[in-house]
Amino acid sequence: MLHYGIDQFSYEQMMQIINGEETATLNETAREQITNSFNNVQKIVESDRTVYGINTGFGPLCDVKISESETAQLQYNLIISHAVGVGKSIHKDLSKIMMIAKVHALSKGFSGVSMEIIERLIFMIEIDYLDKLKSDK
């Protein structure tokens, strides 16, 4: 069993996760790292501190403080501004490898994301494998 945010994952191990031959999970250490990071961001949002990217604009607007009530919209706008889709779709396995790498990185506890985001990504990684098991019966 591999642990997100703790172990090092090889390409081969990620393919084993995708194919249901290996399991990856969040252990208690990773869960604590994620929760502590999320709580730190929440404290910043609730305080008067100004922290780039959490309650400020980006780039040239880095000195513009965003109100607590507008921080959720700021984060949403950031995601939308980076969303793009051009060209052919990527192979499903590559998409899953990218999600595994993202879960692994977020589970190190440096991003401030909520546990729910990470759990949803893990669900999305695992759902095809679960569907495949059902169809094989």
Q: Which residues are catalytic?
A: 52
| Of 95, 110, 102, the residue nearest 9 (C-alpha) | 102
Rounded to an integer, what is the distance from CA 35 to the centroid of its chain? 13
Residues in the chain, overall count: 137
CA angle at 3 for the pair 53 and 128, rounded to the nearest 5°: 90
Quick one: DSSP state of residue 65? B
